[in-house]
Structure 1
Amino acid sequence: MSTDVPDLDIRHLVAVAAVADLRNFRLAADQLHTSQPTLSRLIGRVEQTLGIEVFRRGWSGAETTREGDLVCQFARSIRQALGAAEARLFAGRRTHPRLERSLGIGDLRIIDAARRTGGATAAALELGCSQPVVSRTLTRVQQHLALPLFQRSGSGLRPLPAAQELGDLHGRIAAALCALRDQLQAEEGQLAGRVAIGILPFSGQVLIPRVFARLSEDHPRARLVLVPGTYPGLVSALRRGEIEGLVGIMRKETCPADLIETPLSEEEFTIFARKDHPVHVRARRLEDLRDERWLLPPYGSPVRAYMERLFGQHEMMPHIQTCEIQFFSAVEQMVAESNAVAVQTYSAAGLRNLRPDLRKVAVPLPGEPALIGLTTLRGAREEPVFAEFRRLLTDAARTWA
């Protein structure tokens, strides 16, 4: 492993920590009192030096990559070390300079060298710079912090407590940067990357967390993101690169041309209500449900389109309450605590595992089953970690059906 300290400065690490915490470049730039272009250049320097991508666009803003997670962990620890040193240096002072804004690693390196060698000339020889550069740096830092660093003596420079503190801080930061590089190198070649998946309502929603659990066990460096949402919102996120795919009822002929749908399983359109609802006694045909209150997803969804076709065929205009709820279990909970009937898609396994306080309404629904599929962007590059997710999901869908 390399023994060279990565050529990064404190301001680079502070920039990384700020963006990671706020997940937004503009907000981070405001917090650091700098411009977005400057902040982007600082992050770019980190990525270039370490040979990795730290941030990428995600569903909820600037999102760290797996390697970025490591960088952020070390950046936060370094920022904490700066804060702890600051508290000790300026104990009792109401106002004082911020170390993360006042010092660079080069300043700390010079202070550390002067502390260890006992003189500006010896420090310059060790660092490969001129003696005036060392002297000017010590003077500038001392004046800016309003802290004495060294006391001159016949034998050279005697470090005072502030110089000892800053020298120790340099050692901690240098060691952390080397440990970061070593850890990044040690993890090279392992399956990593992001799997960000959007989910639409269907009874097999539970499969995605199960696949994520398997992926997490087999490939702990994978970054996993699960995003519930509407079809238009998730398609937009897919096109922006914020997610890699979405799982739900396939649109088939209405699927946009720039997307690819891969079938996974089949589910059937199912009317259901709470277990003790009177509808289970009196309803045998769709017309028997004419006067019921229906909970249906909004226009444009496959379930709504299917039911509207049926209502039209049977010349029905029932009372429909539109509910846009992305979690399958939340719809079930709402039905269990109301007098409404609802329609969702269920697999055979989903019906076998139907909540005990719910019951399928014994009204047969005609037509083809709903196809559940994985939708991806046509022509998009598929990372190995996403290919593994696809394989695991395909296997899990077979067992669920």
Structure 2
Amino acid sequence: MNKLNSNFPLTLKQCRVITEIMKKGTEKDASLSLNLSQPSISRALSQAEQALQISLFTRGWSGAEPTAEGEVVISSCNAVLQAIADTERHLQHDVSALLKLNAYVEWRHLMVIDAVVRVGSASVAAQTLGMTQPAVSKTLKEIENMVQQPLFARARHGLIPQTAAKQLASLYLRVSPVAQSLQHTLQSLPNELTGRLSVGMLSFSCQDIVPVAFASLFKQHPRIRLQAMQGPYHMLANALRQGEIDCFLGLMRKGPIHPELIELPLLDVQYALIARADHPVHDYAKTLNDLTNERWIVARHGTPIRDYFESLFHSIDNKPPIQALEMLTFASSEELVIHSDAIALLFYDDWNIKQLNPRLKQIPIRLPNPECTLGITLHRERQSTLIQTFIEELTLTIKEKLLRDST
């Protein structure tokens, strides 16, 4: 029977495994969905990758994510499996029992059905396929059990295909070219920048830079898969170490917490105190001592912003306010400032402070050592061409931004 699958780079079971891993994100969840053991799922995936001589998935932020080649394979698998599901849905109209075509059909079933429909004889089909007649009859019985209805009617001169057999033969003619051309499709991939770029962003960081760089990358290299996600430092650092993301951006610290990570500076910024434009604090606040009783919006503990916030009050021999509202995003912090009496400690580059929302206003208090730096954190040993291209786009975006500031 294996000879019947030789024209197809993937079995239909492997197609089902690949698409389910993509949907569920892990082999474990795919095994539960397909009602297969996890070793069976792993084995099917490994055999598929060996047959195609490519890696289909890479470890990602939310589980298994397809490689550039994996995207092509998944697209092919989805097309084949969708056609099978459509055929099963049509056949289901004629019977009450639940069909099992979508879960169990393999190439050998479809090839045998197609051959018998074409020649009208199980024995002739067996000769055509290089099988024995009992093997053909057994295969027909298997697929008949899957569709819960007769496939052929016996006549003096051979077998007459019924509706189910005709639909299955038609299905084979539609999907076999898609599957058989997969290797050629993979070999014909254009020689251009491909792959996944997964970028983490620390709270409050680079929201106006990354989208511009992403847009430029997407325009120049449409086969790149771009991802951006937000999270705290320790989560992003661990994700970078484990290969779930490629880099992350944010305020630079005194140095990365793991020796295999490195930081590169990108943009000089500075801390600023922000309040609603019509807030009375703009009239009476002259020093930090005037702000000790205010309500504050700050970043979470363990961030450079929060450390600086607490150092401000220690510098005036005062305890940091306990009643502080922690926010995770820059936009939500600005919006909350607009709609409340709270003031916020944020950071801006020169261009962004000049473009501040008119409903906001910087409190005119000189802060001690407000300078800080936005940077990108990379894995010391994993710096691909794609990551370098992204850094180049970030650098260009920042230069254009600074150029706008100077004009």
**Per-residue deviation at 1:158?**
2.8
CA contact (8 A) 1:252 1:261 kept: no
CA contact (8 A) 1:6 1:50 kept: no
- 1:112 corresponds to which letter in structure 2? D
Out of 208, 230, 239, the residue aligned to residue 228 of structure 1 is: 230
**1:109 corresponding residue in structure 2:** 111
The whole-number CA distance in structure 1 between the counterparts of 2:288 and 2:306 is: 15
**2:153 corresponding residue in structure 1:** 151
Gaps in structure 1 of 5+ consecutive residues: none
The whole-number CA distance in structure 2 between the counterparts of 1:161 and 1:384 is: 54
**2:188 corresponding residue in structure 1:** 186
**1:374 corresponding residue in structure 2:** 376
- Aligned alpha-carbon RMSD (Å): 2.1
Alignment partner of 1:139 is 2:141: yes
CA 1:322–1:23 in structure 2 vs 1: closer, same or farther (change >3 Å)?
farther
**1:51 corresponding residue in structure 2:** 53
Alignment partner of 1:353 is 2:355: yes
**2:386 corresponding residue in structure 1:** 385
**Per-residue deviation at 1:38?**
0.8
CA 1:367–1:83 in structure 2 vs 1: closer, same or farther (change >3 Å)?
same
The whole-number CA distance in structure 1 between the counterparts of 2:146 and 2:97 is: 13
Question: Secondary structure, in 3 states, of the residue corresponding to 2:42?
Answer: helix
**2:84 corresponding residue in structure 1:** 82
CA 1:372–1:122 in structure 2 vs 1: closer, same or farther (change >3 Å)?
same
The whole-number CA distance in structure 2 between the counterparts of 1:204 and 1:134 is: 63
**2:397 corresponding residue in structure 1:** 396
The whole-number CA distance in structure 2 between the counterparts of 1:248 and 1:17 is: 35
Q: Which moved more, 1:66-75 or 1:245-254?
A: 66-75
**1:247 corresponding residue in structure 2:** 249
**1:176 corresponding residue in structure 2:** 178
Deviations 1:36-91 (A, max 9, x none): 11112222222222232222221122222233233223322322211221122232
**1:206 corresponding residue in structure 2:** 208
Q: Which moved more, 1:131-140 or 1:354-363?
A: 131-140
The whole-number CA distance in structure 2 between the counterparts of 1:121 and 1:313 is: 94
CA contact (8 A) 1:247 1:375 kept: yes
Out of 307, 310, 315, the residue aligned to residue 308 of structure 1 is: 310
- 1:111 corresponds to which letter in structure 2? I
CA contact (8 A) 1:297 1:324 kept: yes
Q: Could you state the TM-score of these two structures normalised by the residue count of structure 2?
A: 0.91
CA contact (8 A) 2:97 2:148 kept: no
Deviations 1:211-262 (A, max 9, x none): 1111111111111110111111111111121101000000124643221000
CA contact (8 A) 2:247 2:379 kept: yes
Q: Which moved more, 1:165-174 or 1:323-332?
A: 323-332
CA contact (8 A) 2:56 2:70 kept: yes
Q: Which runs of 4+ in 1 moved over 4 A?
A: none
Deviations 1:294-343 (A, max 9, x none): 22222221111122222112112242444443321111111111111111
The whole-number CA distance in structure 1 between the counterparts of 2:167 and 2:40 is: 30
Q: Which moved more, 1:18-27 or 1:386-395?
A: 18-27
Question: Secondary structure, in 3 states, of the residue corresponding to 1:206?
Answer: coil
Question: Secondary structure, in 3 states, of the residue corresponding to 1:204?
Answer: coil
Gaps in structure 2 of 5+ consecutive residues: 1-5, 403-407
**2:283 corresponding residue in structure 1:** 281
CA 1:99–1:361 in structure 2 vs 1: closer, same or farther (change >3 Å)?
same
- 1:364 corresponds to which letter in structure 2? R
CA contact (8 A) 2:240 2:247 kept: yes
Alignment partner of 1:123 is 2:125: yes
**1:64 corresponding residue in structure 2:** 66
**2:267 corresponding residue in structure 1:** 265
- 2:392 corresponds to which letter in structure 1? R
- 2:373 corresponds to which letter in structure 1? L
